Structure 1
């Protein structure tokens, strides 16, 4: 659980650092490629990328030790980290309700940590591995066609797709039981991890560019928590401590509700910071 929380801290802080770097890099000319090159010259952006990498390592360690539902809830709490860090570095004003949501996230994670049992020991079937690969491929198709979507539901659909993509990564980590190159090349879960992760980043970027940050992030949080948690419980044997299933469900729902209340921090609010 400590690794899961460390991953959330890394991801949440990285978002703010990258937002600050993007704001400083966004004053020049050129398209998206030029913006990215300018951002890569900012130490904050590079620090954010390093934190993303470190967070992914913490995430892998957590998924190897505790149930997926606990890791998913912890990763959703990165929005609370982003909100607190943004209030400090970007001088974004949090309302009383948002501070309350941060407290709800923390309370939910504390309750979930007390109730969560050990990681399930059931091996994922070959069918589940192929299902993850198919889901990842489906999200990649959605990412490639995302620019053609229109309407008010576009941001939610793209956000959900990104959440499912990250969910594929979470489940696939559990389905990879050997890191030998020969085993990885024949394991569909290894390809599902790469395809699902790549599609998720593409979908999230498209969602944030083309629609409401709040709506996109709400879809992301729902997609990357509920689906993987269900897979872990139903197919991988994730359980709670004896007699504490109700407490784990309560903690999961509290953490999820608090994260959704902080959905506007899915991308640090740079514009607001500039006017604060």
Structure 2
């Protein structure tokens, strides 16, 4: 349990720092393209163009953030095998706290008292979950359910992409939510993936869960990039938190046999609800995050 918790916390830290670095790169790229080609930066609905998104992912900040994401993914995969999903996914999704704190320094954002209270709520909720969590459930599931997971992942990325492009500039929260669901599918896929213990390459490559992991990871990263380009960093990340926490947590309990310690179900449920509520609160208050510290504002051009 301790090793799993440490691994999940490390994954959360990598993801949180990675999100802010990706936001820095995405926004710098968007500003540059807006200056060079103001008419081609966004689609007719106000969403970012494919060209704009492609340029964002080659900035050094975004690349470094992506490296941290890959490290975080490896750590998160290990945590998903060591902990119940409702605990591992919630701890990992607490990268929102790291994102908010790092945004103060790297994006010049100002956190107000309600945001600090929401962050404290998330941290307290994680402590409750850690106390209440019991051993993880089983990992062996019918292969048909693995195909279903892959199908759902494909539908999420295709439908989510179309919806976000239709919504345009107002689609940041939707993009964050769908990316969270895709990352949640990734976590479930890692948990049920065959051919790991004992290792069998043939079983691993023939398992649809492996390809659900790929779709969930790549699709989630793409939609999260879009969310960072068009809206609040904390808001988009909080929507991601809800998507990647609630569904995997429920699936882990209902389908995979995850459970709390005897007599502590109420504490686990309380911690889970508080974690989600805290994330939503940060999303709500994070909508005002565009206000920079006076010293962080870019100077206006001389007239």
Is residue 2 of structure 1 aligned with residue 6 of structure 2?
Answer: yes
Partner-residue secondary structure (3-state), 1:149: helix
Match of 1:27 in 2: 32
Structural mapping, 1:34-183, within 5 Å: 40=58, 42=60, 44-146=61-163, 149-150=166-167, 154-179=171-196, 180-183=200-203
Distance change in 2, residues 1:157/1:15 (3 Å): closer
Q: Shift of the alpha carbon at 1:115?
A: 1.0
Work out the CA distance in 1 between the residues paired with 2:165 and 2:15. 29
Q: Is the 8 A contact 1:12 1:80 kept in 2?
A: yes
Work out the CA distance in 2 between the residues paired with 1:184 and 1:20. 37
Match of 2:46 in 1: none
Match of 2:275 in 1: 255
Match of 1:205 in 2: 225
Larger RCO (CA under 8 A, 6+ residues apart): 1
Q: Shift of the alpha carbon at 1:4?
A: 1.0
Deviates more, 1:97-106 or 1:83-92: 83-92
Structural mapping, 1:163-242, within 5 Å: 163-179=180-196, 180-209=200-229, 216-242=236-262
Q: Shift of the alpha carbon at 1:222?
A: 2.2
Match of 1:14 in 2: 18
Which consecutive residues of structure 1, in runs of 5 or more, have no partner in the other structure?
A: none
Distance change in 2, residues 1:153/1:88 (3 Å): closer
Which consecutive residues of structure 2, in runs of 5 or more, have no partner in the other structure?
A: 42-49, 299-303
TM-score by length of 1: 0.85
Work out the CA distance in 2 between the residues paired with 1:209 and 1:157. 13
- Size of the aligned set, in residue pairs, is 275
| Deviations 1:212-239, CA, capped at 9 Å, x for gaps | 6666444422221111111101111111
Deviates more, 1:146-155 or 1:229-238: 146-155
Q: Shift of the alpha carbon at 1:178?
A: 1.1
TM-score by length of 2: 0.78
Work out the CA distance in 1 between the residues paired with 2:57 and 2:218. 20
Structure exhibiting the larger radius of gyration computed from Cα positions: 2
